[in-house]
Structure 1
Amino acid sequence: MAKKQKNNTSFSKGWIFFSIPFLIPFIIIGFMFFKGYTEFQPEKEQIDQLIHEAETLGENVNEILEYYILPNGHGLTARSTDGTILLEEVDPDANTIVQTEQLNSDIFMRSFVSYQKDGLVFITKADDNSIIKGYYYESGKELKELDIPEIHADGYLESHVLSHQGTIYLLGKKGDGSFSLYSIHELQLEEINLTENEQIVDLVDAKLYYSSTFTDLLPAVELSLYDQSQFMLTLSPKAEERFLIPEAMSFWETEEEAVSQLYQGKESTVIRIADNQLVQYDIHTHTVQNEIPTPEPIYYPSLFQIDTNLTLVIGRESVDESSALIGYVFNQSGEELVVDLTERLQEQSFDYNNDAFFAQVTEEELYIASDRAAISVNLADPSVSEWLTPELVEKSYLSLAEEKQQQAEKLTQDSDTFSKDRLLQYIREDSAGQTFTIIITFWVGIPLLIMIIIFIISKLSKWKRKRILNNGGIKVQAKIMQINQTGTYINEQPQVRMKVQFTYQHDLIQREVKQVVSLLYPPRPGDFVDLLYDPRSGKVYLWRD
C-alpha cells in the first residue's frame, strides 16, 4: 500500500508541474481580460454627451432666435445649433421639452412664419443650394416638409418671402431662370402666374415690394420688363383681389392706386401714423381725418395689420426708447378699441421693429412672437392669455438638464456593475475583449480538449476491456522476463517495454506490453504483473481495477 500511495503522490506532483506552464499565462491573460472588462465603457461617449448637454442647456436660452405660442398653449422656440434651426416645444406647466425638430437653414438662420390650421408654417433657405424650404409643425406630430416646387432664393430670404395675414408668398427662380411666385394658405400651395396678363411681356426682374407707407396693407410684387416699363401686382389669397397696376409718375401714386383698387367697395378708413400720432386716413381721398385717442399716450408706435379688419399698434409708454411696452388692437378704421394689451406687454422687453417680431390673428386668438417672448391673447376674452419667456424656457432646460444628468449617472452605475449582458457586449464589441476571448479559448480549449480525448479514450478502453471479459477474456499473472525503456516519458515517468510470459490452458504464452513506471519503484525481471488476456485475438492488456 505504501508503494501505491507514493506513486499517486508522484503522479499528482507531475500533473501540477505539467499545469504550471498553462496556469501562469492563463492567470495573466485572465487578469488582463478582467481589467479590460472593468475599463470597458461603450456608453462613455453617450455619457460624456449627456453631461455636456446637461452643462450647456442653461446657456441655450441665449441662442434662441424666436419664441412662439402654439395653438394648444405650449411654447415653441427656434434656436440656432450646428448650422440648423432647432425647434423645441416647451410645456411651461410641466417644465419639460416635449419635442424637438430641425429645419434646414443657411448661415443667417432666417425664417418666416405663418399660423395655418393647427400649427405653424416655417419657410427657410437651404444652406447647400439656396432652395426655398417649407415646413409644417403641429404639436404632437412629426415635422412635415411641404412639397414646394424647386425655386432658388438668391441673396437674403427677406427678398423672397412675405408673410401676410395668414398667407405666405414665395418668390424665386426656377432652374431655367424664370420667375415663380407661390402662395401657401391653410397649407394649400398655389402658383400665381406672373405673366398671365398680356401686358407682362419679356419679364426681366421681379421682387417683393416693401413700402414705407402701406407695407402692412399692401402685399405686392414689383415687375420689371425688358422695355423698362414697370408694374405692381397686389397679392391676396383671393384671385379677384390681385390687381396689376402700371407704374405711375411716382411710386407714391402707384401705391395709392393699388391700395384704392384693393379697398374698392370696402371700408376706406384705415389707421396710419402722422407726426408720430395715430390718425384715421381715408384711402380714396388720401386725407387725414381724425386723431385716434388711446388710453395712455403711445410713443414710437408701429402698425401691424393682423387681419383684414384688425390693426395692432405697439409702442413705448414714454419718450425713453427703452421704456415699457404698451399696445392696443383697434378695428380697421380706428373707431373701436378691441383690446388693451398694455398690461400683458408691460413686463416684456422685445423689439417690435426687429425682424423676429411677428403678429397674426387666427379666428379670435392673437399671437405675438418675438426674439424675447411670445404672447397669445383671446380677443373675445382677453383675460385668457398665454405667454412664453426666457425664464419659463430656462426652467424647462434645467429640468431637462437634471434628467440628462440622472441618465448619465445611471449609465455610469450600470457600466460599473458586472452582468452577463455586459460581458457578452464586451466580447462582441471590444477588440481587446475579442482578442482575449480567442486567446483564452485556445489556452483553455486545447488542454480541455486533450483531457476530453483522454477521458474518451479511457472510457473506450474500459468498455473494450469489459467487452473482452464478457467474451471469454481472463485475468492472468504474467512473469516479467525482460524490461527495456522506450525513451518516452509521461509526467516525467519513463515508459518501458516488458516481455512477459504466462500459462493459459497449459500453453506457455509470451507477449510484450508497455507501461509507465515509477522511477522510485520500477518493476524488475522476475516480478509478476496482472494482465487481461483476450483468447480470441491473442492480445494482452495491462489489468486495471
Structure 2
Amino acid sequence: MKGSDQVKRIPVIFLRYIVFFIPAIILSFLVWNHYQDDLSAGKATQYDIRRIFTFDEGKRVVSAVSKDQQLRFVMYDPQSGKIISEWTTESDTFNEMLPSIQGNNLLLALKNKEGQLLIEKLTPSGEKKELIKQNLQIPSFLKTNTYQWNGRLVFTGEMEGAAIVLGELKNGQFFHVHNLNKLNLPARPVSIDAVMNSFRGQTPIPIFELTLKNDQKAYVSGVSNDKHQLGVYVSKNAEPFSLIQDKVEKQLAKTIGTSQNFAVAVESNYPKRPRKVNAEGGLGEVVPTPKPIYQTFIYQLNEEEVLLVGSTAKDEAKGKLTGYIYNHRTNKTTSVSKLFQSFSYENLNREGLFFHKNVKSDWIYYSFENQLTGAFETKSKQLKEFPLQKVISIENASPAHQTSFDTFMQYVMKGGPLILNWALWLFIPLLLFVLAIFLPPILRLVRNNKIKDSVTLEANIVSVKETGTYINEQPLVKMQLQFQYDGQNIEKTVKTVVSYTQIPQPGQRIAILYNPQKKKAMLLKEGDFSQTSEPKFIKGAVLRNIESYGTVGRGTVLSLTFEADQKKYTIPMIQANGFEYRTGEKADLVDISGQLKMAAYGHEVRNRSGKDVTLTGTIQRVKQYPVTIHNQKPIMLDVMVSSGDQSITKTVSQFIPDHMEVAPGTQITMQTKQEELDKEISLMQEKQGSAKVTHVAFSGVIGNQPLATIQIERDGVMYEVKQPIDPITSVLPGDELWVAYHEMTRQAAIVKYASI
C-alpha cells in the first residue's frame, strides 16, 4: 500500500509545482509570438494604416503606415498587387498629412519632427520628389496651416529672414512663395490666421488676417493672381472683420479678380440647398441639378467645378446620398451619386474626407481617413474603390510573411538572447521537477522548526522606521511591536519588506508568532500587515479653518481643518487655480488605516449618484515638489488605469510622507463612479485633437481632484468636458488641451494637459 501511495503522490507534486514550468511555457509563447512578429515585419494592420490614397485613374494606391514614430509609404498597382515603390519619412507625433492631386501626380504635405513642412510629389512611376527647398517652420498643427482651394495647396509658415510666409502649389509645382514682410504694410506682420471658415465658402475668396507689430490688422488674399500678386487691405481702426467684410472683399478682388471666387454656397436655412453666388456676393438661384439636393455639403474641386453632396430628401434621415459635379462656368451638372455608395451622411462632415478633380479631367478622386479611397470616372460611371481591408490584404500577401517549418527554422538559426533563454529553459523544468519532489519536505521542516513551541498573538505596531536597505526596489522597514503574553507587556522588533503604497501605520494590529522559550517574534504570514481595516467615513464635516503653505504648479497648498461631532480633523489639500475652498461648507472625509483623506466636498458632489468602484492603477510618471505640510509632501502622478480590456492614463495629485519615494511601476488604488469611468473610456475611443479652453466652472471636489465643467472650442465647434482635473496643473481659459471628443454629442475628455 505504501508503494501505491508513493506513486499517487508524484502526479500531485507535479501539479503543485507546475508553476516551475511556467518560464519554459512563457518563453515558448514568446518565441512563437516573436517569430510571428518577425514574419510580419512590415505587415500592416488596421491600427497601423494612417491614410490611403489613390490617383492615376485608380491605377495607383498609396498607403501610409505608422510604425516606430515613422511613416512608411507604399505605392502599388492594386490590380496586380505589385509594389511600385516604398519609402520612410520621419513625421511629427501626430502623423498629420494633407493630400492634393494635381495633374497626374499625388502631393502629400507632412510635418517632420523638427516642425518643418515637407511636401512630397509622387508620380505614377514611383518617383518621389521633395518640393520644399527651404526650411519652412509650421508653428502649430499641420491642419491649421495647410489648406485646399480650387485645386491649389495653400500653406502658411515661418522661414529664416521672414517671420511669415504664404505659399501656393499649383499644377504639381510651386506657384509662388510670398514673403509677407515685403508687403506694403504699416508694420511687419507677427501672426497670421485664416478668417473663420474662409476656406469653406464663408468669403468669396480665402482670406488671412494679419496682426501687425503696431497692433493694426491687415487682410491678405489666400491666393494670388497670375502675376503672383496678393490682395491687401489694411484696417486703420482695428474693426472686427464682420464689420468691414464687404470692404475687404472688394479691395482684394481688385487685385485677384473674380476667377477664384467661391461660386456656389449653401443657403443657411432649411432645407440647405446649393445656390449660385452672384456678383455682389449674395445667394442667387438654386443650382440646376437634375434632381433636387438638400442638406448640402460643398467641396471645392478646381477653378471651374465644385462637388455638391447631400440628401435626396429634405430630411437627410429619410433620403439617400446623392452627388453632382457642377461647372459654374458652363452651368452644367454631372451626376456622381454612385461614388457615395459606401458613404453615410455623417461621413460628410469628417475632417479626413478629401475630394480632388483636375479641370477637364473625367476622373474624381476621394480619400476618407484610413477607411476608404477610390477613383470615379464621370463619363463611364466606372468606380474603382479600395476599402481598408482590401488595401491590407494586398500589402500583406507576400509569401515571406507565411508560417512554415522552413521560416521557423530560419528564425531559430538567427539566434539571439530570446532563443538562447528558450533553449536553456527547456531543460531547467526537468531539474525543477526533481527538486520539487524533495524541496517541500525540507521547507516544511525548516518552517516547523521556526514555529515550534510558538503561539499566535495579536500585536500593536508602535513605530515603523526605514532601515535604508532596499530589496527589489522596496524598503526594508523595522517595526516595533507591543503585545501581551502571560500577563506581561512585551516589546519586540521585526524586520520586513513592504510596498511604499502599503506601509504599516503605528496603531495597527497585526498577527504574529511568539516563541516564549526563545523569546522571538515573527510575522504570522507575509502580507498580513498590509491588510487594512474597512474605511471609516466621517459625513458632513464642516470646514472651520484654511491655512496656505505656498504654491505648486498652478495650485495652492492648503491645510484644511474640519469639525464633526465636536472633533477636529486636519488634512492637506491642493486648491486648483480658479477653485476656492470656503469655511462653513461641508465635506465627507474617510479614515483609511489611520490616514485621513477627502472623499467629497461640495453639495453636488456629496450627493451625486452612481456605483462606486475601486480601481488599481500603475504609476507611469512621478513629479515631486519641494513643499512639506504636516510631514507630507505633494506629488503629481501619471497613472494608467484599466477597466476590462480598456486602459486610460490619468493625471492625479496626492500627498505622501515626506521621507517616502514613489517610483514608476508602483500600483495604487483609486475610487471613482462606474458611469464616469465608462464615459471617459468611451470618449477615448473617439477622435482626438487640440482644443482651446473658453470657460471653466467647478462643482466640488472628488478625493483630491476638483470636479470641473469646461467649455472648449475646436475648429469653431464648442464641446463640454465634465471630469475631475488635476489641481496642480489646473485648467484656465485660453489653455490649449489635447482632448478626445464625440462630434455628435459634443462631449469631450482631457487626454493631455498641453499648457503645462
CA distance in 1 between partners of 2:203 and 2:389 (Å) = 32
CA distance in 2 between partners of 1:137 and 1:267 (Å) = 26
Contact 1:90 1:393 (8 Å CA) reproduced: no
Contiguous gaps of at least 5 residues in structure 2:
1-30, 421-756
Cα distance, 1:290 vs structure 2: 1.4
Q: Which amino acid aligns with 1:351?
A: N
1:58-69 to structure 2, matched below 5 A, reads 60-69=45-54
Is structure 2 residue 254 aligned with structure 1 residue 257? no
Contact 1:280 1:333 (8 Å CA) reproduced: no
Relative distance call for 1:326 and 1:65 in structure 2 (3 A) is: farther
Aligned to 1:51: 39
From 225, 231, 252, the equivalent of 1:243 is: 231
Aligned to 2:367: 369
Cα distance, 1:79 vs structure 2: 3.5
From 258, 266, 270, the equivalent of 1:273 is: 266
CA distance in 2 between partners of 1:311 and 1:257 (Å) = 23
Contact 1:277 1:291 (8 Å CA) reproduced: no
Cα distance, 1:310 vs structure 2: 0.6
Cα distance, 1:168 vs structure 2: 2.2
Aligned to 1:405: 402
CA distance in 2 between partners of 1:322 and 1:75 (Å) = 35
From 291, 303, 306, the equivalent of 2:301 is: 306
From 152, 155, 158, the equivalent of 1:173 is: 158
From 102, 111, 122, the equivalent of 2:108 is: 122
Aligned to 1:383: 381
CA distance in 1 between partners of 2:48 and 2:321 (Å) = 23
Aligned to 1:542: none
Contiguous gaps of at least 5 residues in structure 1:
1-42, 417-421, 432-545
Q: Which amino acid aligns with 1:191?
A: V
Contact 1:47 1:412 (8 Å CA) reproduced: yes
Q: Which amino acid aligns with 1:377?
A: F
What is the percentage of aligned positions where both structures have the same residue? 14
CA distance in 2 between partners of 1:305 and 1:67 (Å) = 21
Cα distance, 1:268 vs structure 2: 7.6
CA distance in 2 between partners of 1:240 and 1:182 (Å) = 10
Cα distance, 1:265 vs structure 2: 6.2
1:351-362 to structure 2, matched below 5 A, reads 351-362=347-358
Is structure 2 residue 214 aligned with structure 1 residue 231? no
1:221 aligned counterpart, secondary structure? strand
Contact 1:96 1:397 (8 Å CA) reproduced: no
2:280 aligned counterpart, secondary structure? coil
Aligned to 2:631: none
Higher strand share: 2
Q: Which amino acid aligns with 1:71?
A: D
Cα distance, 1:193 vs structure 2: 2.6
Aligned to 1:348: 343
Aligned to 2:392: 394
Cα distance, 1:309 vs structure 2: 0.9
Contact 1:160 1:171 (8 Å CA) reproduced: yes
Is structure 2 residue 200 aligned with structure 1 residue 202? no
2:56 aligned counterpart, secondary structure? coil
1:352 aligned counterpart, secondary structure? helix
Cα distance, 1:180 vs structure 2: 2.2
From 97, 114, 121, the equivalent of 1:136 is: 121
Cα distance, 1:111 vs structure 2: 1.0
Contact 1:205 1:223 (8 Å CA) reproduced: yes
Cα distance, 1:293 vs structure 2: 4.4
Relative distance call for 1:236 and 1:409 in structure 2 (3 A) is: farther
Contact 1:68 1:368 (8 Å CA) reproduced: yes
Q: How many residues align?
A: 371
Relative distance call for 1:119 and 1:413 in structure 2 (3 A) is: same
Structure number with greater CO (CA < 8 Å, separation at least 6) is 1
CA distance in 2 between partners of 1:334 and 1:254 (Å) = 29
CA distance in 2 between partners of 1:279 and 1:327 (Å) = 12
1:149-160 to structure 2, matched below 5 A, reads 149-160=134-145
Contact 2:265 2:298 (8 Å CA) reproduced: yes
1:144 aligned counterpart, secondary structure? strand
Query: Per-residue CA shift, 1:205-257, capped at 9, x if unaligned?
Result: 22334435625852332222123322221113633562112346633325542
Cα distance, 1:321 vs structure 2: 5.7
CA distance in 2 between partners of 1:170 and 1:412 (Å) = 50
CA distance in 2 between partners of 1:278 and 1:66 (Å) = 31
Aligned to 1:37: none
Relative distance call for 1:322 and 1:142 in structure 2 (3 A) is: farther
Contact 1:97 1:396 (8 Å CA) reproduced: no
CA distance in 1 between partners of 2:152 and 2:258 (Å) = 22
CA distance in 2 between partners of 1:392 and 1:374 (Å) = 11
Cα distance, 1:294 vs structure 2: 3.4
Relative distance call for 1:291 and 1:263 in structure 2 (3 A) is: farther
Aligned to 2:593: none
Cα distance, 1:386 vs structure 2: 2.4
Cα distance, 1:263 vs structure 2: 6.9
Contact 1:79 1:85 (8 Å CA) reproduced: yes
1:227 aligned counterpart, secondary structure? coil
Cα distance, 1:329 vs structure 2: 0.4
Q: Which amino acid aligns with 2:148?
A: S
Q: TM-score, normalised by structure 2?
A: 0.44
Contact 1:85 1:102 (8 Å CA) reproduced: yes
Aligned to 1:82: 68
Contact 1:269 1:280 (8 Å CA) reproduced: no
Cα distance, 1:316 vs structure 2: 3.6
Contact 1:165 1:360 (8 Å CA) reproduced: no
1:257 aligned counterpart, secondary structure? helix
Q: Which amino acid aligns with 2:265?
A: R
Q: Which amino acid aligns with 2:358?
A: T
Cα distance, 1:340 vs structure 2: 0.7
1:359 aligned counterpart, secondary structure? strand
Contact 1:220 1:233 (8 Å CA) reproduced: yes
CA distance in 2 between partners of 1:386 and 1:108 (Å) = 30
Aligned to 1:70: 55
CA distance in 2 between partners of 1:192 and 1:240 (Å) = 8
Is structure 2 residue 283 aligned with structure 1 residue 288? yes
Cα distance, 1:323 vs structure 2: 6.9
2:273 aligned counterpart, secondary structure? strand
Aligned to 1:335: 331
Q: Which amino acid aligns with 1:354?
A: R
2:143 aligned counterpart, secondary structure? helix
Is structure 2 residue 201 aligned with structure 1 residue 214? yes
Contact 1:122 1:134 (8 Å CA) reproduced: yes
CA distance in 2 between partners of 1:294 and 1:259 (Å) = 31
Cα distance, 1:261 vs structure 2: 3.7
Relative distance call for 1:304 and 1:259 in structure 2 (3 A) is: farther
Relative distance call for 1:209 and 1:258 in structure 2 (3 A) is: farther
2:181 aligned counterpart, secondary structure? coil
Higher helix share: 1
1:393 aligned counterpart, secondary structure? helix
Single out whichever of 289-298 and 355-364 deviates more from structure 2: 289-298
2:180 aligned counterpart, secondary structure? coil
Contact 1:101 1:143 (8 Å CA) reproduced: no
Aligned to 2:173: 187
